[in-house]
Amino acid sequence: MLQALRSGAAGWIAKGFLVVLVASFAVWGIEDIFRIRATGENAAVVGDRKITVEEFRNAYTNELRRISEQAKRVITPEQARMAGIGERVLGNMVNEAAIDASVAKLRLSLSDEEVAREIQNDEIFRGPTGSFDRVTFNEILRQNNLNENEYIRLQRAFSARRQLTDALSANVDTPDAMLKALHAYNSDSRSIAYIDLKPEAPAAAPAPTDEALRAFYEDRKGSFNAPEYRKIAILSLDPKTLAATKTISDQELRAYYDANSPKYAETEKRSIEQISFPSFEEAKAASDQIKSGGALFEQIMIQRKLKPEDVQLGDLTKAQMFDAKIADAAFALKQGEVSDAIQGAYAPVILRVTGVQQQRVKSFEAVKGEIRAVLAEESARKDVLALHDKIDEQRLGGATLEEIAKAQNAPLRIVEAIDEAGKDPNGEPVADLPQADRLLPEAFRATLGGDTEAINAGDAYVWYDVRGVTPPRERPFDEVRAVVEQRWREEEARKRLDARADAVMAELKAGKTLEQVAAAQKLAVEQAETTRMGGAPSITAAQANAVFQAPVEGFGTTPADEQGARLVFRVVAENVRPYDPNTPGDMGQSEKIAQGLGADIVSAYVRKLRDDLGTEFDPTAIAKVTGGGSS
């Protein structure tokens, strides 16, 4: 309940493993399904705790209301059943009841002061000043049909549960054996020698006979069917498109420039050279020698056997220099000046600044267009939110997209025919489709003429209607003969490449070297190193997987890459990087594993609680609330 309130009020889900519990036990579990007590009064019983039908109905109704408000449309009972909302709500109530029983047994509690502090620190109750706001608090409680005492009770129970679940999941570390395996998987590499077998062009394959093409067509007839096409009306709204219609005055542009001029400053840069020394004394001696005229910076470079490119740090801003002490010294020097000896983070050094590019502020005229784009998009973003609400109101009022487009002076686009892959009947991609990765799946799930929900992508929105459906159909051979031949040729090219790879492998197994086979194929033997994720120069993850399946000094072939090429390789060496627990370099994977293990512990604990307490459900009582069947 408390998590749902927070999610609905501010789009924020409470942290901790209670979230995991909802997901883990939303489906009641096979054991619970067979523990049925048909009383008609209680939806579920957990030990001595009875979850009445009325309690379940209230929680279920609140959840439907919350989801409907977020979706800005009414969620029907059928949609709720298909989404498993009732199971999720009741599963959460059962889990809370089981944890509450354990909390009571362990006598966990919070003081009134701690509960008050948690409520006051909750970010969803913060007002304009950033601190707890009584008006905001009361309004959110009113929206969720709660009074202050009820909410305090919910917060107290929630915090007590969190004490328990946090204690169970705290300090769960990824086992050392798992870390070592993860390290090996991520960091081990293999060196290979290989030849790259490229496929022939499909046009190079001998011309097929008519009989061969017809047989090819009959074997794959379904793949040549015309897909389902849909006619879609689309109304899109996004700030970038709307910004093009905005007029921004020069006065507004100038005011923005004056207020944000630091944004348009090019930071000072310096061309810096650096010579490192084994000791601070040597660095000081070199600096003193240069300053006294006894040597030039270049002579010290020669003594240290350094080339010009070895001492150049480049043209850097102060922020780009990772050693703050060296950065301070470099930016205190004049052009051409050599520094005193500096004890850097890694070695003593002396510096020379060979060039200074002073900080320069771009003129108003130079950034005028950039500012215009920023202000136009800011203005358009505000308009988008206002227009979105108006369009949604018109949609709910029954207005067509044509009527809405006319009323809001927005462009309406009609796509006469498009398949689920985004192509027209000629096989060409339909260009400039807004939010295509979401629009197409949703449009092909929608019913002809049915209600559709707006697609929200950040600050952009897309409304659409399905105006027509052309069902898939079987296309006769004569209609698709050219496509059949092209596919036949592509498959023939793959077969010929596979045969070529098999022949090369046979020669290698017979004792020939990779170099001998490469010479016969008029190919060069290339070298590469790869991890399991892939490697240079162009080893894909799938190819790397084949490399790691072959024995060291053994031969193998890889699957085809995106261009259809295959590698025939020999594993030259396996390179194992020693495991260092201080620098696992696992890209956060160990932390995710530890979190998952903690979640598993909590999940197992709650399931054990439910089993020990005894958990029973009444399907008939549940059906009274959700409207489902009684079996």
- Picking from 358, 377, 393, the residue at the C-terminal end of a domain is 358
The tally of domains found in the chain comes to 4
User: Are 196 and 242 in the same domain?
Assistant: no
CA-wise closest residue to 114 among 53, 150, 159: 159
DSSP secondary structure code for residue 477 in this structure: G
178 domain-assigned: no
Same domain for 11 and 146?
A: yes
Does a structural domain hold residue 289?
A: yes
> Which range, of 12-21, 31-40, 416-425, averages the lowest pLDDT?
12-21
Describe the strand order of the beta sheet including 460-470 as a list of residue ranges.
412-418, 229-237, 460-470, 455-457
Determine, yes or no, domain membership for 43: yes
199 — alpha (psi -120 to 50), left (phi > 0) or beta?
Answer: beta
| Distance from C-alpha of 557 to C-alpha of 505, rounded to nearest angstrom | 8
Torsion of CA 312, 313, 316, 318, to 10 degrees: -130
**165 has which bridge partners?**
none
Q: Which of 427, 452, 470 represents a domain boundary (last residue)?
A: 470
Contact residues for 353 (Cβ-Cβ < 8 A; gap 6+): 270, 271, 272, 273, 330, 333, 334, 335, 336, 337
Q: How far is CA 397 from CA 17, 234, 383, 387, 450, in A?
A: 42, 18, 21, 15, 15
Residues 371 and 347 occupy one common structural domain:
no
Rounded distance between C-alpha atoms, residue 526 and residue 569, angstroms? 9
In this structure, are 10 and 106 located in the same domain? yes
Which residue range is the domain that position 85 belongs to?
2-171+600-626
Tell me whether residue 257 is in a domain.
no
Q: Which of 21-35, 113-127, 498-512 has the lowest mean pLDDT?
A: 21-35
pLDDT score recorded for residue 466: 94
Domain match, 344 and 391 both: no
Q: Is the pLDDT of residue 26 over 60?
A: no
pLDDT over 90 (residue 219): yes
- pLDDT, residue 39, reads 54
Looking at the structure, tell me whether residues 381 and 520 fall in a common domain.
no
39 and 136 in a single domain? The answer is yes
169-174 long-range contacts, CB within 8 A, separation 24+:
169/17, 169/598, 169/599, 169/601, 169/602, 170/598, 172/594, 172/595, 172/597, 172/598, 172/601, 173/594, 174/590, 174/591, 174/593, 174/594, 174/597
Is 258 within a domain?
Answer: no
| Same domain (yes/no): 484, 570 | yes
Q: What angle do CA 53, 56, 59 make, to 5 degrees?
A: 150
Do residues 21 and 154 both lie within one domain? yes
pLDDT class for 340, splitting at 50, 70, 90? very high
Q: What percent of the chain has pLDDT over 90?
A: 35
Report yes or no on 585 lying in a domain. no
**pLDDT digits over 570-604, tens only?**
999 998 888 777 665 666 677 888 888 888 899 89
Report the C-alpha dihedral over residues 607, 611, 616, 617, rounded to 10 degrees. 20
pTM attached to this predicted model: 0.49
Q: For residue 20, is pLDDT > 50?
A: no
The last residue of one of the domains, among 304, 338, 358, is 358
In this prediction, residue 380 has a pLDDT band, given cuts at 50, 70 and 90, of: confident
pLDDT of residue 586: 60
CATH code, domain with 20: 1.10.4030
Per-residue confidence (pLDDT) for residue 74, from 0 to 100: 72
Rg (CA), the chain: 35
The confidence band for 24, taking pLDDT boundaries of 50, 70 and 90, is very low
Average of per-residue pLDDT across 473-501: 93
Q: What percent of the chain has pLDDT over 70?
A: 91
Per residue in 181-213, pLDDT tens?
888 888 888 999 999 999 988 888 888 999 999
Residue 6 and residue 124 share a domain: yes
Query: Of 273, 274, 269, which Cα lies nearest the Cα of 356?
Result: 269
How much is the mean pLDDT over the chain? 84
Going by their DSSP bridges, the two strands 49-52 and 455-457 should be labelled as unpaired
Give the pairing of strands 229-237 and 615-617: unpaired
CA neighbours closer than 13 Å in the CB half-sphere of residue 361: 8
Split at pLDDT 50, 70, 90, the class of 29 is very low
Q: What is the mean pLDDT of residues 315-344?
A: 87
Mean pLDDT on 82-103? 90
**Distances from the Cα of 51 to the Cα of 33, 42, 48, 307, angstroms:** 16, 6, 10, 80
- 194 plus 79 within the same structural domain: no
Per-residue model confidence as pLDDT tens digits over 250-299: 888 888 888 887 777 767 888 999 998 988 999 999 999 999 988 899 99
Helices (H), 72-147: 77-83, 85-106, 112-121, 134-143
Residue 182 lies in a domain: no
Contact 124, 131 (CB under 8 A): no
390 and 301 in a single domain? The answer is no
**Which CATH number belongs to the domain containing residue 294 in this structure?**
3.10.50.40
The secondary element (H helix, E strand) that includes residue 450 is none
Note whether residue 589 is domain-resident: no
pLDDT on residue 357: 80
pLDDT-based confidence at 309, cuts 50/70/90?
confident
